[in-house]
Amino acid sequence: MAMANNKTLCFTCNKDKITYPCKGCLKEFCLTHLTEHQQILNEQLNDIINVYDQFKQTINEQKQNSQNDLLINQINRWEKNSIEIIQQKAQECRRILIEYSPTFFNDIEKKFNDLSEQIKEIHSENEFNEIDLNNLKKQLIEITEELNNRSNISIQEDSQSFINKISIILSKKPKFNKWKQNAITVAGGNEEGEGLNQLDYPDGIFIDEKKNIFIADCENHRIVEWKYNAKQGQIIAGGNEKGNRMNQLNRPTHMIVDQQDHSIIIADRDNRRVIRWLNQNQQVLIKNIECYSLAMDKNRFLYVSDTEKSEVKRWKMGEYDNEGIVVAGGNGRGDQLNQFHHPNCIFIDEDESVYVSDRKNDRVMKWRKDAKEGTIVAGGNSKGANLNQLFGPQGIIVDDLSQIYVADCWNDRVMRWCEGKGEIVVGGNKRGNQSNQLNRPCGLSFDDEGNLYVVDLFNHRIEKFEIIL
């Protein structure tokens, strides 16, 4: 009866032997070389222990002779030098005052002697009147005031320091915010529908200073506003069935609230127009454009992404009768640095740089003002779920630290990108409808407290992830 062959190749000697797996590296070793492998691991452990001991010794040395000693010595030198400067200045002022005093008193005595001579002369001649007496009184008063007040000499303290100012600066690392991983549903979440407590594939979102939530309720062809802590929304634009009349919308994808006149500017995508609603009055701003997303910069220029022409254009407020200016893309559909493939969400920073979710290229692009091409600031490593990848990115926000927040739609997560590195901030717990899950997130917004709002597209809800302070 033949024996079963349970031999494999040893990783070290490459001979067919009975081998044993290493659970760490998952390689197979014969008994002899397994022992050698274990010895190598022990040596590596000893190296780590030695490094640890050296580091511990360094900590103890620095505790005993820390950098604080050097800084304290610097403070002591500043104190000594400053005291010397103050003492020198005080001595100089004393010298000036002492040298001046004899001159001052000599001048007073001279005036007093002159007055004495006048009095003697008047008294000896015995010829004087009221005018003479008043003149003598006046001179005597002036000499007395000059002696008592010394108006021609005083101490002046300058508010500007003549010693170097010293202070302690404790440099702080940038604060990387974190959020609770279980969200609160603040709008919708009552299944797909057209009721005032429901949403139907919501897309863009806007949060105002009162934490009211404005939502592009795409498949309900309306814009709804959910007041802070409200149980249902109210229709503020559209809601008159799908259509292209002035009071109708057709699958709106995004909107912004103009804080100056509180009008709502809407990307009315399937009607191929950008339209403004103000107190139920409508005005078409831009026609014949496959608009998806809108943004407004600090100078009130309006930016619109055009998915058909693979470009982002800019219009000056009130001058919508022209063709607009291309500020990103406009070189046809593609994956080059001067191209897009289905650009959707956009964000404008303080420097008027344009950030664009290049959805079908699975990347986010940054176009500086007047640039001829963009740079990849998130993704761009083909579609995927690794931390250096995106899959169908949509909503984007850039904070004051230039950190880029991306709704990584088809990976069901929101990511933060900084210096080309990505990390998951919420979601990423498989697709679902639990409070720590997302299903095709597409829109993002922050309120003034830093809470993160996410449009959870396929769950027909808006999720609020509270910031951890």
Q: What's the confidence (pLDDT) of residue 354?
A: 97
CA atoms of 149 and 155, how far apart (whole Å): 13
Residue 268 has pLDDT above 80, yes or no: yes
Q: What is the pLDDT of residue 145?
A: 74
The first and second tokens of residue 164, run together, are 């170097």
Backbone angles phi, psi at 51, to 5 degrees: -60, -40
Query: How does residue 171 score in pLDDT terms, banded at 50, 70 and 90?
Result: low
Say if 214 falls within a structural domain. Answer: yes
In a domain, 277, yes or no: yes
**At residue 316, does pLDDT exceed 80?**
yes
Gap between the Cα atoms of 142 and 115, Å rounded: 11
**Contact of 215 with 187, CB cutoff 8 Å:** yes
Does a structural domain hold residue 29?
A: no
The torsion angles phi and psi of 394, rounded to 5 degrees, stand at -130, -105
Helix spans in 185-261 (H) = none
* CATH code of 270's domain: 2.120.10.30
Q: What percent of the chain has pLDDT over 70?
A: 91
Q: What DSSP designation does 249 have?
A: B
Indicate the pLDDT class of residue 4, thresholds 50, 70 and 90: very low
| pLDDT confidence tier of residue 64, bands split at 50, 70 and 90 | low
Strands 363-367 and 375-379: antiparallel
Q: What is the DSSP string of 297-310?
A: -TT-EEEEEETTTT
Does 120 map to a domain?
A: no
pLDDT at 15: 85
- The answer to whether residue 406 scores a pLDDT higher than 90 is yes
Pick the most confident of 91-100, 169-178, 312-321: 312-321
Q: Would you place residue 148 in the very low, low, confident or very high pLDDT band (cuts 50, 70, 90)? A: confident
Instruction: Please provide the average confidence, as pLDDT, over all residues in the chain.
Output: 87
For 79-116, write each residue's pLDDT tens digit: 888 888 888 888 888 887 787 767 767 777 777 787 77
The stretch 44-57 carries a mean pLDDT of: 83
Rounded CA-CA distance 291/177 in Å is 32
pLDDT of the residue at 159: 59
Please write the tens of the pLDDT for every residue from 427-444: 999 999 999 999 999 999
Asked if pLDDT for residue 130 goes beyond 60, the answer is yes
SS3 (DSSP) at 156 = coil
Confirm whether 6 is domain-assigned.
Answer: no
pLDDT at 57 over 80: no
Residue 73's alpha-carbon distances to 69, 160, 164, 166, 169, in angstroms, are: 6, 26, 16, 13, 16
Question: Do 31 and 18 form a contact (C-beta atoms < 8 A)?
Answer: yes
pLDDT at 66: 54
Which pLDDT belongs to residue 3? Answer: 41
Sheet holding 273-278, edge to edge: 254-257, 264-268, 273-278, 281-287
Q: Residue 275: count other Cβ atoms within 10 Å of its Cβ.
A: 24
| Higher per-residue pLDDT: 122 or 294 | 294
Q: Is residue 73 part of a domain?
A: no
Radius of gyration of the chain measured on its C-alpha atoms: 40
Position 133 pLDDT exceeds 60: yes
pTM check: above 0.85: no
Q: What is the pLDDT of residue 1?
A: 33
9: left (phi over 0), alpha (psi -120 to 50) or beta: beta
What pLDDT score does 54 carry? 81
- State pLDDT tens for residues 193-250: 999 999 999 999 999 989 999 999 999 999 999 999 999 999 999 999 999 999 999 9
Query: Distance between alpha carbon 347 and the CA centroid of its chain, in Å?
Result: 13
- pLDDT of 252: 96
Distance CA 211, CA 45 (A): 55
Q: For residue 9, is it within any domain?
A: no
Convert the pLDDT of each residue in 343-384 to its tens digit.
999 999 999 999 999 999 999 999 999 999 999 999 999 999
Which residue in the block uniquely carries the two structure tokens 């901030």? 425
321 pLDDT band, cuts 50/70/90, is: confident
Percent of the chain with pLDDT over 90: 55
Domain count for the chain: 1
Whether 281 shows a pLDDT value over 70: the answer reads yes
Q: Which helix (H) or strand (E) holds 61?
A: helix 31-64
Q: Which range of residues forms the domain containing residue 416?
A: 178-468
Q: How far apart are CA 126 and CA 130, in angstroms?
A: 13
